Amino acid sequence: MKLEGVELRRIAMPLVAPFRTSFGTELNREVVLVRVVSPDAEGWGECVAMSAPRYSSEYVDAAADVLRRFLVPALLALPDPDVYGAERAFARFKGHPMAKAALESAVLDVSLRESGTSFGTFLGAVHDTVPAGVSVGIMDSVPELLTAVDRYLDEGYLRIKLKIEPGWDVAPVRAVRERYGAELLLQVDANTAYTLADARHLAKLDPFDLLLIEQPLPEHDLAGHASLAQLVRTPICLDESITSAAVAVHAINIGATRIVNIKPGRVGGYLEARRIHDVCAAHGIPVWCGGMLETGIGRAANVALAALPNFTLPGDTSASDRYYTRDITDPFVLEDGHVRVPTGAGLGVEPDPDALDAVTVSTEWLAA
């Protein structure tokens, strides 16, 4: 494949409602979109870094900088770029997995569009639709939370994830479990807000039969998660900690994680995400697809990934309107609690030019 150049586009999308987690409140999603252009096609990728380095050390301006100065030039210097060569070229730079994932998926998209193959087919999808869960932010009160959960269940979501932090954990979990009963698939996500000293407190969640507790401790504390796993009955699921297939294997082997959240942005791309899927399957560890408030571009790729066989728990693969009034692609919608895996070439979706214009802050063209 020959490339003509790469466009970096900054967009800003207002959220339908503020989204509060243990690390802060988001009102406006800033995104870097990557468009890779060949003579015959173009491919899109979405960088999931946040405006500020709160989820991980990456943030939007840093991702744009490393793309512009290092990753895009390394890609354009390849004599015959493809997704595998791109991944190898990016590996020569430390860190910045979200920036790498965005560019890697744009390269994959353009090459798959040229060959007429879908993301799902390329990755090994075995389902036409995937079950959708929803992540519910921290609220000011339990009644407010129940109103939100009511609405999501009415819309058809098949699993609820409550964001938790110290002071907002046992009471909201109890209230939701009591209101909807034992049948509701329910889990929590702490985004690193606790310490091992909170083990006895976290064990108070055990009676509520949660599917899992996601990332209770800081990301680098794998040993702490292994210790915590001995003190609580609820399965521990790692998100922030799992940065590669090698780390996933280590975390599984020391008993730090019984379930794994896979986010392609966090691990440097869809190739590494598929390897994590594969090593988890080999170890009997179920996985599910996380979310980073993606637009339709990132969502399309995630939904394709979530259709692989070891994604046996509903993901944070919500419908577009969970986050955005107007998505930049045709919106992903719930059909009986499921989201459909696109079947067209590449991502199978593309940005609508008018919708894209309406949210674009700036663009730059990096020519080959």
Q: Which stretch binds Mg ion (CB under 5 A): 59-67, 194-202, 234-242, 351-359?
A: 234-242
Residue type, 69: R
With CB cut-offs between 5 and 8 Å by kind, which of Mg ion, ligand NPQ, none does residue 292 bind?
Answer: ligand NPQ
Instruction: Provide, rounded to whole angstroms, the least separation between the CB of residue 15 and ligand NPQ.
Output: 8
Closest CB to Mg ion among residues 111, 191: 191
Closest CB to ligand NPQ among residues 21, 234: 21
Q: Which stretch binds Mg ion (CB under 5 A): 11-19, 53-61, 167-175, 181-189?
A: 181-189
219 binds Mg ion (CB under 5 A): no
Q: Which stretch binds ligand NPQ (CB under 6 A): 244-252, 274-282, 288-296, 355-363?
A: 288-296
Closest CB to ligand NPQ among residues 87, 239: 239
Quote the strand ranges of 40-173, DSSP E: 42-47, 129-131, 133-136, 159-163
118 secondary structure, DSSP code? B
DSSP characters over 205-273:
GGGG--S-EE--S-TT-HHHHHHHHTT-SSPEEESTT--SHHHHHHHHHTTS-SEEEE-HHHHTSHHHH
The one catalytic residue among 94, 100, 163, 204: 163
Closest CB to ligand NPQ among residues 29, 225: 29
Q: Which of 1, 6, 13, 26 binds ligand NPQ (CB under 6 A)?
A: 26
Instruction: Provide, rounded to whole angstroms, the least separation between the CB of residue 117 and ligand NPQ.
Output: 29
Tokens of 152: 């999501």
What is the helix (H) or strand (E) element at residue 145, kind and residue range? helix 142-155
The one catalytic residue among 2, 100, 161, 263: 263
Instruction: Provide, rounded to whole angstroms, the least separation between the CB of residue 316 and ligand NPQ.
Output: 4
243 binds ligand NPQ (CB under 6 A): no
Tokens of 101: 């994932």
Q: Which of 44, 55, 59, 288 binds ligand NPQ (CB under 6 A)?
A: 55
Whether the CB-CB separation of 168 and 138 falls below 8 Å is answered with: yes
CA distance 329 to 338: 18
Based on the residue annotation, tell me whether 100 is a catalytic residue of this protein: no
26 binds Mg ion (CB under 5 A): no
Based on the residue annotation, tell me whether 263 is a catalytic residue of this protein: yes
Closest CB to ligand NPQ among residues 22, 111: 22
Q: Which of 252, 259, 292, 328 binds ligand NPQ (CB under 6 A)?
A: 292
Identify any residues that bridge with 186 across adjacent strands, giving them in sequence order. 160
Whether the CB-CB separation of 347 and 300 falls below 8 Å is answered with: yes
Instruction: Provide, rounded to whole angstroms, the least separation between the CB of residue 246 and ligand NPQ.
Output: 21
Three-state DSSP state, 125: coil
CA distance 101 to 106: 9
Residues 111-150 that bind ligand NPQ (CB under 6 A): 135
CA distance 321 to 308: 24
Cα-flanking dihedrals φ and ψ of residue 154, to 5°?
Answer: -60, -40
Residues 75-94 that bind ligand NPQ (CB under 6 A): none
Q: Which stretch binds ligand NPQ (CB under 6 A): 3-11, 167-175, 284-292, 343-351?
A: 284-292
316 binds ligand NPQ (CB under 6 A): yes
Closest residue to ligand NPQ, judged by C-beta, is 135
Identify any residues that bridge with 31 across adjacent strands, giving them in sequence order. 11
Closest CB to ligand NPQ among residues 41, 148: 148
Tokens of 160: 């609820």
239 binds ligand NPQ (CB under 6 A): yes
Tokens of 248: 């996933």
189 binds Mg ion (CB under 5 A): yes
CA distance 168 to 186: 15
Identify any residues that bridge with 132 across adjacent strands, giving them in sequence order. 315
Strand order in the sheet with 5-21: 42-47, 24-37, 5-21, 360-367
Residue type, 366: L
Cite the active site residues: 163, 263
User: Where does this chain bind ligand NPQ (CB under 6 A)?
Assistant: 19, 21, 26, 29, 50, 55, 135, 189, 191, 239, 290-293, 316
